[in-house]
Structure 1
Amino acid sequence: MDFCNIEGLYQSFIKVIKVHHQYLHNILEKLDLYPGQPPLLFTLYKNDGQSQREIADKLHIKPATITVMLNRMEKAGLVTRRQDVEDQRISRVYLTEKGREKCEQLKNIMVDLNEHCFGNFTEEEKEVFKTLLEKMAENIEKVKDK
């Protein structure tokens, strides 16, 4: 594989990642959100009141990173933390009304982003593309810890 070839498959993949990241970053900046926050917001939107450990496990993020993210999001008024009523050692995280509003905005943005990304794909092409991306992830998972 020629990695110096700017027309190559790997370069095209990196270009898509870069363009997508820049586009999403610009949108999130307008909403006063950071790139890691939407998945956390959506996780709570689906199932409010999770523990920090549950969130970390679902998002595959270290608990310490979740703590930093939640501190920032709490200061922004997006989430609130409360002790579990049955086990005071557990802190549960809840969306605030502002956090719910951001989720609604994000849902609309993600619909638009999907349309921009895949609007001219057929359903069959979307399925093939999804399968190929999953296969790539599996390939990397197999060798990442070697």
Structure 2
Amino acid sequence: MKKDSVFNHEKSFLNSWYNMRKGFEDFFKSKSKNLNINPAEAMFLSRIYYKDGISQRKIANGLNVSEANITKTFKKLEEKELVYKTIDKENNARRNLHLTEKGVKTFEKCMKIFEEFDKILFEGLTGDQKEKMENQVNTISNKSINVIKK
């Protein structure tokens, strides 16, 4: 007899999370064909969009990825002419990241895609229901990140 597990329960968080992630990736891919960007790169751009001059280290910490990953992503986005860096005036070893005009426009188009998906997901829910759901998922997300950091 096969062992029961979360894989065997259609409504398990694991299966739901997988479906949400896959659904979003497919949705984003279909809506962003002309942008030449993926969701992870959009998240990278979001950090710079909301905090111009942020360091690669702070982006890595905020996205829970390695600085090497951020360096690779930056290079890809730099080749696409979406980002550039400057030397920090107070610390010559630190590089500040910025969006180009094209980067700003690209990210703003990404925001619309994210907002459209969000609207579809939460259609029919009240503001309170949506907030409760977001709080619950955020709690689970934070626990997940803490597992990695142990």
Q: Tell me, yes or no, whether TM beats 0.5.
A: yes
Q: Within the alignment, does 1:9 sit opposite 2:12 as a pair?
A: yes
Paired residues of 1:28 and 1:35 also in contact (CA < 8 A)? no
1:27 deviates by 2.7
Equivalent position of 1:85 in the other structure: 89
Distance, in Å, in 1 between the alignment partners of 2:61 and 2:147 is: 21
Unaligned runs of 5+ in 2: none
Partner amino acid for 1:64?
Answer: A
1:138 deviates by 4.5
Secondary structure class of the residue paired with 1:36: helix
Larger RCO, structures 1/2 (Cα 8 Å, 6+ apart): 2
Q: Which moved more, 1:110-119 or 1:125-134?
A: 125-134
Q: How many matched pairs?
A: 146
Secondary structure class of the residue paired with 1:50: coil
Deviations 1:29-83 (A, max 9, x none): 4310022111111111111112222222222221111110000100100001122
128, 132, 135: which one aligns with 1:128: 132
TM-score, normalised on structure 2? 0.81
Partner amino acid for 1:37?
Answer: E
Paired residues of 1:48 and 1:93 also in contact (CA < 8 A)? yes
Note closer, same or farther for the CA distance 1:40–1:7 as it changes in structure 2 (3 Å cut). Answer: closer
Q: Within the alignment, does 1:19 sit opposite 2:18 as a pair?
A: no
Identity across matched positions, percent? 25
Note closer, same or farther for the CA distance 1:6–1:44 as it changes in structure 2 (3 Å cut). Answer: same
Secondary structure class of the residue paired with 2:59: helix
Equivalent position of 1:101 in the other structure: 105
117, 123, 126: which one aligns with 1:119: 123
1:135 deviates by 3.3
Equivalent position of 2:70 in the other structure: 66
